[in-house]
Chain A
């Protein structure tokens, strides 16, 4: 069973400001889940909290994140790091700056796989330069849209069970979003699961199995896209 269960997760910043309160939701394999919400409602914070990526000096996270009968929030650092490396991959917002600008891309690819054929297949699929050329490039030499695709490919190459995506479509044009979506559907079709936060309502509508809205520190129940857009008056105006 590959399920993730968030049980009453609360996040407090600087021991005074409540960012999220008693978040409960369950994610099942084979699905793409989407969290929508306005700027500053804590979407990224929630996503980061799942695998302990928040700075403990600033944020205190309460509750449980159950994954394969383990509570991720109470794991030792090295065990959590193993899970982040192999099982739950996070694709960051601002992909260009999620790379060290002094290392070429060959470094990042060599960390996750030696399977050159698989790398070429994915680069080709995402209409990126071939490995020979790309591996010599530095992160500052690629556009935001390219960096976004490279981050996603690196996540896929690790063959994780879960991918977390933070605003995966910012800075990329619609045709490329289509590519991303095809791969993401393939990924969950193989029995994995994806959770993303986005401002792109069309992406949410077309990609998600279930959507939830984050507002006023709480998360609405997950509902199907049809139900969600029927219940929530968002997106009709834009």
Chain B
């Protein structure tokens, strides 16, 4: 197997009112190069914390994350994360072109390919006319595309998407889904997507991890997991998506 990432026995805990609270409990998995992994599960089950650890933003309390990147980056991390769009992912007063050029310089110190800007604009379907606009002049979707273009400029090998669909309408969700699949194909990027929406994950991912209460309760190929969920919590999540649960069904799995 050609892995890009190996996660071994990750624990993460915080001190809350002098008590240790375990956020991630013994997380282990491997990720193959150029694949798409989905992470879903309960709100507050540690999905975003895990994403941040994988991106190197947080250090795990214990455990090991090994990366197997093909190129050596000195300054810019080959793991990039597209944060949840809250309207704050782009500096409102800077010009889009200026932000992208800065990232291009960071990512390609010695030889900036003059056509690479066009390539990434094309990939995220941003029009060149937006380069003169400032952050505040962009719609939510344009902000997200700009953030994505900025990430592509530094040529990541592993891209983590944190709830990339939550601020999107149903049509944009579909467009973004296809855009991510194109990135995987054309830029040889491995993707991890954290999302609540199992329906979109089904279309995007090859493998899915379901988390509950800080643990991985199920990991399987998307086709198997969605067709034959094994863990009771996965079954519960899939059933819940139909929005016809009775109260008795819901309280079987109280919030952690």
Contact = CB atoms under 8 A, between A and B. Distances in A.
Interface of A: 37-40, 125, 127, 143, 145, 170-179, 181-182, 199, 201-203, 206-207, 234-235, 237-238
Interface stretch (B29-37, B63-71, B165-173, B224-232): B165-173
B125 interface: no
B247 A179 contact: yes
Nearest to A127: B255
A70 B11 CA distance: 60
Interface stretch (B113-121, B214-222, B235-243): B235-243
Contacts of A145: 43-44
A127 B247 CA distance: 11
Contacts of A207: 243
Contacts of B173: 238
Given A173-B42, A174-B196, A182-B247, 6 more contacts: A39-B139, A127-B251, A173-B196, A174-B241, A175-B240, A182-B246
Which of B171, B177, B198 has the most chain A CB within a 10 Å cutoff?
B171
Interface residues of B, number: 36
A201 B170 contact: yes
B170 A178 contact: no
Contacts of A37: 169
Interface of B: 42-44, 139-141, 166-174, 177, 196, 198-200, 236-237, 240-247, 249-251, 253-255
Nearest to A175: B240
A170 B166 contact: yes
Contact of B243 (A170, A199, A206, A235): A206
A172 B237 CA distance: 13
Given A40-B139, A202-B242, A237 B174 contact: yes
B195 to A, nearest CB: 11
A199 B169 contact: yes
Contacts of A172: 43
A178 B200 contact: no
5 contacts: A38-B172, A173-B43, A174-B241, A199-B168, A237-B174
Given A199-B168, A202-B241, A206-B243, A176 B174 contact: no
Contacts of B169: 37-39, 199
Nearest to A202: B243
B139 A175 contact: no
Nearest to A172: B43
Contacts of B167: 170
A176 B200 CA distance: 19
A176 B237 CA distance: 10
B140 A39 contact: yes
A37 B42 CA distance: 28
Contacts of B244: 178, 206
B172 A174 contact: no
Contacts of A179: 247, 250
A140 to B, nearest CB: 14
B199 A238 contact: yes
A125 B255 CA distance: 12
A207 B140 CA distance: 27
Contacts of B168: 39, 199
Contacts of A202: 241-243
A171 to B, nearest CB: 7
